[in-house]
Amino acid sequence: MVDKKKLLIVDDHTILREGLKALLLTSTDLEIVGEADDGRKAVHLAETLSPDLILMDLSMPRMDGMEAVREIKKKWPDIKVLALTVHKTEEYVLMTLQAGVDGYLLKDATHQEMMTAVRSVLVGKRYLSPGISEKVIEGYLNGKQTVKTRSSWDSLTSREREVLKLIGEGYKNKGIADQLNISPKTVEKHRANLMEKLNLHNTSELTAYAIEKGLVVK
């Protein structure tokens, strides 16, 4: 009897989760034990399902993948996490690795590359997509392994990042308040804090920053 490895798929796009399931289930030694469409659900399912591997999207509502990875790795360090993303910038890759992921896979990867990544991570190896490996190695050689300890980005709270993501997606204060179950006045306070911490001055600049940080895909 095959000892199946348990996988949890986390992505806020249903069609992408369905596609990943179809591809992964072509292997008889893999089992999809659950799905989540945001980071909070991912943390909850990590506890209840104890997966061997989580395929984690990084840009999601409510709690982004980066925050979810940090929490999961802090509580259950043996759970492997393979980040699944479109972002290739050196800073973003390094921040993701520092959050604790075991692998970094670009969403334009082939089925074969995804399976290689999954199997590498499951046996305890670090995997980086070929498209970004050179950038990361370059950064390491230049002594950039550690992203500045307290950058403006690092100073943001989880809630401020949620608000920033929604601003980037075009939501107004009322819409953000409805999404996060908080008052418009609280949203306005978060917006003011964001502009102060990031030294940005209007919605357009906040939106551009959200896109740059991978919170919003355009």
pLDDT (tens digit per residue) in 88-143:
777 778 888 888 999 999 988 899 999 999 999 999 998 998 877 666 666 655 65
Q: Per residue in 4-26, pLDDT tens? A: 999 999 998 999 999 999 999 99
Q: Is 185 exposed, middle or buried (0-12, 13-18, 19+ CB in 10 A)?
A: exposed
What phi and psi, each to the nearest 5 degrees, are found at residue 29?
Answer: -95, 10
Domains of the chain by residue range: 5-141, 158-212
Whole-structure pTM over 0.95, yes or no? no
Instruction: Tell me the percentage of the chain whose pLDDT exceeds 90.
Output: 56
Amino acid at 65: G
The pLDDT of residue 155:
77
The pLDDT of residue 145:
52
The answer to whether 67 and 40 have CB atoms below 8 angstroms apart is no
Q: Is 174 exposed, middle or buried (0-12, 13-18, 19+ CB in 10 A)?
A: exposed
What architecture does CATH give domain 158-212?
Answer: Orthogonal Bundle (1.10)
Residue 161 is encoded by which pair of tokens? 């990042």
CATH class of 5-141: alpha beta
Query: How confident is the model over 24-36, as a mean pLDDT?
Result: 94
Half-sphere exposure of 182 (CA within 13 A, CB side): 15
